[in-house]
A and B are shown apart, each in its own frame.
Chain A
Amino acid sequence: MIELKNIEKYYANKGVKSYILRHVTTSIKEGEFVSIMGPSGAGKSTLLNILGMLEDPTYGEYEFMGENITSLNERKRIELYRNHIGFVFQAYHLIDEMTVAENIEAPLLYKKIGGSERKSRVADVLDRFNMVAKKDLFPNQLSGGQQQLVGIARALVAQPSIILADEPTGNLQSAQALQIMDLFKKLNEEEGITIVQVTHSEINAGYGSRILHLLDGVIKEDVATTV
């Protein structure tokens, strides 16, 4: 599903290049659950942003579902967002002015899905996440864990083929974190959704099927987890 070839990212400052990523070459297949680990400043988030097409690599080739991303225009990229990629953020990034239900509904609006189907899909997701009672609340009326659930629900409702999660549990207490990880694992196993997450926690990484260890912009280790 994802092919990275020799991806490099650096910032040139007064002729000195400071590298964020170097020679990153890897591939992620459909249905994998990959965790990206490494110390602060290793380039984890940058790699995830490149995967999510939020940043462009300075050099290298990136193919997403057989398409070369580096030459993709804005419109095509947005098409991919709409149909294939779901984002989950550390700080949830729900829209404060929208209720829970409206936040979940928002991606469907951009996919131009009809009113009745939207309603049923939102109801479906709310039901699955046990949040029917909270659907008319605003984000700031929820706990962090609940907000992140809404964030995941929002990422899922558009039925993406891949979820990119940047430290999804970073702001949560451990009990809530485990709940989120269980959910990811279930989505991965039962629905075959590809998941790429950046995490600091070994435990969280253990939920996945593969771990990429990043150090100073270079992939140091690429191992399958043993369950």
Chain B
Amino acid sequence: MFKLNLKIALRNLWKYKGYTLINIAGLSIGMASCILIFIFIRYQMSFDQQFKHKERIFRVVSYWKYADGEEYQRGVPIPLMSAVRNDFAQMEQVAPLQRGGGIIRVKDDLGREKIKETVTLYYVEPQFFKIFDYKWLQGNPQEALSSPNTVALSEEMAAKYFGDWHKAVGQTINYQNKKDLKVTGVFENILENTSNPIKIAVSYLTYSKRDDKHWGNVSSGTECYVLLKEGVRPADLKAGMKKFIEKYYDEEDRTRTQHFFQPLSEIHYDGHYGNFADKLMPKSQILGLVVIGLFLLITACINFINLATAQAISRSKEVGVRKVMGSLRRQLITQFLTETFTITLIALVLACTLTELALPGMASLFKERISFSLLEHPVVFVFLTGMVVLVSFLAGFYPAMVMSGFSPVLAIKNKVSSVNSGGVGLRKALVVVQFSITIILIIGTLVVLAQMKYMREKPLGFNSKSIALIDVPFDSLSLQRFDGFKEKILKVPGVLNASFCMAAPSSDDNNLTTINYRNNKDEDFQVNAKPADQDYFKTFGLELIAGRGLSRSDTTTEYVINETLLKKLNFSSPEEALGKVIKVGGKTRAPIVGVTKDFNNLTLKKGISPIAIFSLKKTANIIAVKMETKSMMSAMPELEKIWNSTFPEDVYSFDFMEDLIGNYYRSEQVMGILFKAFAAVIIFISFIGLFGLISFIASQRTREVAIRKVLGATTLELIKMLNGSFLLMVFFANLVAWPLAYVFISRWLAGYTYRIDLSIWPFAVAMLISMGITLITVSLRSYKAARTNPVDALKYE
């Protein structure tokens, strides 16, 4: 029976080739998109899941609440580690994870320098490996890093430094020209999908600041992981943490400081804290993708249902005959589901091929290594199976119910018409649903693109064009060479200005600190401190609205503040602030000498911070070099040459200011591309479905069209008749989609402090697009129907 059903199914598919093609094309594209989304989400969900104790691993994080805001910080004070170890009995293990970085030098057998590179490394205690079960290839994790100046390397690094990882143990590498680190272990490479990409692990005893006692110093480079004892829940730690904070913080800090235990499984998703790998995937984005995936699948299924029920009439005779031969309704349903299943399977094969083709594009879009392999991830296979079953049922069940429900008498007498085959109303409703989804996506795409354009073009209040930010070493020896270096740089043709500073006006690297103005008491907000030299303003084109810029000095003797800080300190005018004495952080008290116009110092998702700019030479991290755009290409190699001769012990690296700002909006860019792609896919699916439906209706109404034509209807009138209901449906879909789209979009835009005003335009354009394409699609087919010779249609009746 099954074999015969399958055979009949294939013959039926072949008989209605056009509709089969539409069904398969729609389904396979929809399924391919879903598979892509699934693979991506599976990858994202796999983060930090490879550890045996993953359920019990937590990260201690910090949180402060101020009068006008709050701050989340993944780092903790250094003394917190040992305090937690002493005060919490519920911990099985506590281990710091301290990030560091510098220059590693490796010598070859003859003592010549073979490798010199800047690396990121991590200081860890042996306990760390009790929490995270890394696989060690050589050495013992509990002994290898128990004494100072020892290091364990990942397989990859060991092979890079010593040719073959087997040779690494016992060798030494030099760190920062200061310490020789002895290699005592090699561990297996850490997977891509981890929040702590450790390649070089140095023993914690090597870390110079390990005995720091300041509870006020918190750096995002200092993380602390704990492994809870079996059976301990995070809620059990609340009371202990309260006591802990009272014990270690003074009265003022006690009220605003908090430490939480963040589960390992949330580190990859929580945008408040971030992680060392800088890989984040907010849960809301995953949800968004799931919704889009479902939308796509539903749209494809709706095509299927519409075409199948439209086709049902032509299958009615078969149903009638089978019924009088003794077929149970159940058997008919099975038969129709077999057909749907066949189509779905064919579509799946195509979908897998499409997925393979699209994967490289997606991997580069997300800058991740993603593979599509059934063997590697059996869960993908489970997903595919589940999807086929779901789609078969979703798409096949209703048509099967309709068709198997035909009365045999009517069916045999060929009296089943579209009216009693059911589904005319349903078909219309489904088309409306399908187009609502399409229109929502069109509107979403338009808004996302408009917002991106807005962010790209919005003046930030400073000039970011043709500026290179070149890292400079910050040891005291290098510091002495700064002035000479700058002099040489300014002589390079094309270089206009240069400024030593800690960070650019807009930067990820922000140093928040206290400010003290009246009464010798700290204000209840923090300022963004931006140490820089006197050329900062010229280099970045910052505009002063009162006073003057900084004068030349190596230490803090004066401040320039921005408008936001001006308002926060309750000055009525910029002029009033000039000459007033403030103290930023632990610096000296000094007068305000200038006020800059506000500039965007963070991404446009956030507002402008109060900012203080002052001289402090020893904190310079980078030198910002402003060049003429046309001579950038020739100037950059010159700069590198000068840099290398000035700081021969260090490694040259730089970023362009514009790239850094562009990076802020990477996730928006990705979102824009995704929206464009998925909107295109969904438009395609919807409109081939529409084309299929109009084709069917046109062929069903051939006789009616012919009779009307004989009665004197013109082609145009006939096209109008056939198009009318579709345009009406799409119009209704617009009405349904608009409020929904409005809700989604305003939510999304609310995440941006600087955003476009939501106008009627995206809605109107979406309506125009949807109605326009409908008109074209439907007219193509109805024109053909209206033009046929009535004799052909009538003579067979």
Contact = CB atoms under 8 A, between A and B. Distances in A.
B321 A93 contact: yes
A210 to B, nearest CB: 24
B8 A97 contact: yes
B318 interface: yes
Residue picked from A91, A95, A158, most chain B C-beta under 10 Å? A95
A159 to B, nearest CB: 13
Contact of A110 (B12, B317, B327, B408): B327
Interface of B, helix, strand, loop or mixed by DSSP: helix
Interface string A43-54: 000000100101
Contacts of B773: none
B681 to A, nearest CB: 33
Given A95-B321, A97-B318, A82 B326 contact: yes
B110 interface: no
Contacts of B324: 52, 54, 81, 85, 87
A37 to B, nearest CB: 20
B367 interface: no
B412 A75 contact: no
Given A78-B326, A109-B4, A110-B325, A93 B320 contact: yes
A220 interface: no
Contacts of A110: 322, 325-328, 331
B784 to A, nearest CB: 25
Contact of B15 (A55, A94, A97, A102): A97
B375 interface: no
- What size tier do the contact residues of chain A reach? 20 to 34
A106 B322 contact: yes
Interface string A62-105: 00000000000011001101110101010101111110001001
A42 B8 CA distance: 39
A107 interface: yes
Contacts of A49: 409
A119 interface: no
Given A81-B325, A109-B1, A93 B412 contact: yes
B471 to A, nearest CB: 73
B265 to A, nearest CB: 53
Contact of B325 (A74, A75, A91, A106): A106
Nearest to A84: B326
B409 A98 contact: no
Interface in B766-780: none
Contacts of A55: 409
Contacts of B329: 74
B682 to A, nearest CB: 33
B247 interface: no
A97 B321 CA distance: 13
Contacts of A186: none
A29 interface: no
Interface in B355-413: 408-409, 412
Given A81-B325, A110-B325, A110-B327, A95 B409 contact: no
Contacts of B15: 97
Nearest to A49: B409
Interface string B306-333: 0000000000011011111111110100
B11 interface: yes
B4 A95 contact: no
Contacts of B321: 93-95
A10 to B, nearest CB: 16
Contact of B326 (A93, A94, A97, A107): A107
Contacts of B323: 81
A78 B328 contact: yes
Interface string B275-291: 00000000000000000
Contacts of A93: 317, 320-321, 412
10 contacts: A54-B324, A81-B323, A95-B8, A95-B321, A97-B11, A98-B8, A106-B4, A110-B322, A154-B325, A158-B325
Instruction: Sort A-B residue pairs by CB-CB distance and give the 3 closest, nearest first.
Output: A82-B326, A81-B326, A110-B326
Interface of A: 49, 52, 54-55, 74-75, 78-79, 81-83, 85, 87, 89, 91, 93-98, 102, 105-107, 109-111, 154, 158
Given A54-B324, A83-B326, A105-B4, 8 more contacts: A49-B409, A55-B409, A93-B320, A93-B412, A95-B321, A96-B318, A107-B326, A110-B325
